[in-house]
Structure 1
Amino acid sequence: MSDRKRRKVAEDARRLELCAEDLRELGASIGACAFRRSVARAPVPLRAPSDASSASKPPSKASRPAATTSSSLYSLVSSAAYAAKTNAAFQQESWLQALQRLAAEMDAAGSSSEASERCDRLKRRHESLAATVRVCQERVRRLADEVGMQDRVESQLAEEETAWETQMQAREQRVAEREVELAALQEENADDTNEEEDDDQEDEEEAEHGELREVLALRAEEKRDIEAAIESMQRKKRRRGSVLPSGGGGGDEDEDVDMAANATIAAREQVLRELREEKEVLQREIIATEEKEEQQEENQLELPALKEAVVEAKRERAQVQERVDSLRLELERRKRKMRHMVDVQLLTARDTNPPVLREEAVLLHLLYEHEGEMGVNELKQETSAVLQAHGKAHGNGVVIRALYSLVANGVVQIDRSYGNGLVTSLLV
């Protein structure tokens, strides 16, 4: 409830209390005085003479010891009002009728209309107090209805917001689960891509192995040619050695033969070294090629199962993608519905009586449009602009009171560590 309505209710209650106090005083006077039927037995002048102190004083029916019978017309009115219920039960005259009759008798006895005037004033005073009490009672009843209606509206809005928050949390949890599944599928797709790259690499390695086999075959042919050349040179050397002892040639021919033999031996040793090195290199390459071929054979055995797993993963990925798309559509629909709910709350707050709901609804609407976060100064400026556009009070104090009302209700929070302050909505 706003401060203005609280003050209004307090003022009405105070006025009702004053009227009730007047009625209680009137009732106390009525209860303290005994109603006298006969004017002759209890003459009551409008102004008591100096020797009227010897008049008899009947005991009071009330429990107050200080209450005594007064000789004024007000006391007679009180006594008549006190006896009105008893008179109505026994079909006797009411206190108003008795008061009028008594005033007429007193006017006739005193030859003055003062008693009638006082009687009229008392009647008007009684009617005014009764009317004021009825008006205050009606106003209190109306305010109680308004307060009850406002409490019901606020409780219903709180229940709707709680249900909406629960639904949004469930949706966010499901979206998070779908995102985890999507990440897993992306990892599986990455693994599939790596497997395809491995297949391409295996094809390239097979091509390299084929080239190495061709090179190895060429090297083997070259080796056989070199070995054949070495054997032919050895045969020539043996043949030449067998010819030299039998013949008696000159020294120059011997030297030439020795030099040719040494050159041949050196060339043969060089060729043998090169062939050994090439042989070792080729052996290592052959061993590596055989290992790769064995690995490829193992991969070929596992390839059908891997292909089936890839097909199954692609099918599951398509299904999950469809679910993700449907959930995204559902999320967009929920967001549109939430925006519509905020707009409806804004319109409801504008059409209802409490003005505070209007500022709070504007604050929540602006926070929703900015994804739940805004600076304090920016939020105050935009709220003041919207309120001014709708012809409402747009002072800085009004906006601050509405903002801290939302903070007190746990709807928003303010982070003072961020610049001039960052307002975060707990509903988004």
Structure 2
Amino acid sequence: MRSFFLVLFCLIFSLELHSAPSKSQQQAQSLLLISIDGFAQHYMQRYKAPTLNRLAQGGVAAVSMQPAFPTKTFPNHYSIATGLYPANHGIVENNIYDADFDAVFRMSKPEEVTNGRWWLGEPVWVTAEKQGVKTGTYFFPGSEAAIKGVRPGLWQAYDGSVSNVDRVKSVLAWLDLPVEKRPQLLTLYFSAVDDAGHAYGPDSVQVAEAIAQVDQALSVLVAGLEQRGLLNSINLLLVSDHGMVKVPQQQVITLDQLFDEKKAALVLWTPEIVSIFPKAGELEPIYQQLKTSLPSQATVYKKSELPERWHYQNSKRIAPLLVVPEPGWRLMQKHKQQEWLKKTGLNAVTGSHGYDNNTPAMQAIFVGHGPAFAPGSQIPAFANVELYNLMCRILGIEPAPNDGNPDWVNSVYQAN
């Protein structure tokens, strides 16, 4: 009889042990990650955004958040999502060449954007889904692809014509789903501020208007959360991917006039980085030609010479030669410059990003609001690769390997 009770006791203890939630699961909370593309840190002081400021004052705000290099949209959104630097998560630029595929990834090629082969690492929605946490992503870069064979439970193919308020209403509708279907992790993405910054420059009336429009959409979100009794129980992370710097039209370097492009097997052109893949035996000739011909506002690097602080060397997708201009300058082909000037005129000022991630104008924002954050506090500047571990802590899931510092989370997360 004693042996029967001993077996019964062990069985009950075993069931309790396996059914008891872990400490992280006990503390698990919901999370809405909101990206305002192109919202520079200095916009917080320059432009009126009452809803964003209300959330910042009622939660945690960072002095700034440093984007990864290059300070571009896809690389930085995916660094936020994975906690990895671009060299480690594979989205090294908005335009990418992979020799194994012999294919080029561009933001304008949906057949590649939605192909999981490009997206390395593990974004937070994949980590969550693998551990039984429901997810819903609305227009977040990377979420249209099956990564490691996993998609978000709910997701939307990108459509820039959808209004800011309609994006908010869709996310609120997800929060109205029955508990068994409701996402615990959600994302939301706004593009209007970045669009205005590119077209008219960061100091423009149009940027002010775009910020006001996004802030109005945030007010609809806040009102919707308040109506549902969720504002103080769901965690909001409001971030941007990079800043914006003004670029006068005359500040252009016509790079194709400065080296023999026929010596290259492939050149990927963007105004802030030109990636050169030389033909066999032509690396040194191209390099020396550019070292001699480039003006002081741009630098040519061999991959091995890139600054270590950029964490931008250890990927086969990074070109053997890179040309990087100073902030406020563009690299262009001569015929592209002529087409551009016909549209805008010489005296126009536009905006750009992609430059050195130490540049003040490239710095991004971070605001955290909800039960995970002590209200009314400020934290020092930090790198965006730290956010992945923070999101995993909030969601009560185990993070995949990443480049963040796990101890950083303790400086911002408020245990409950």
TM-score class, shorter = under 0.3
Q: Which has the higher strand share?
A: 2
**Quick check: which has more Rg, 1 or 2?**
1
Q: Which has the higher helix share?
A: 1
Higher relative contact order (Cα pairs below 8 Å, separated by 6+ residues):
2
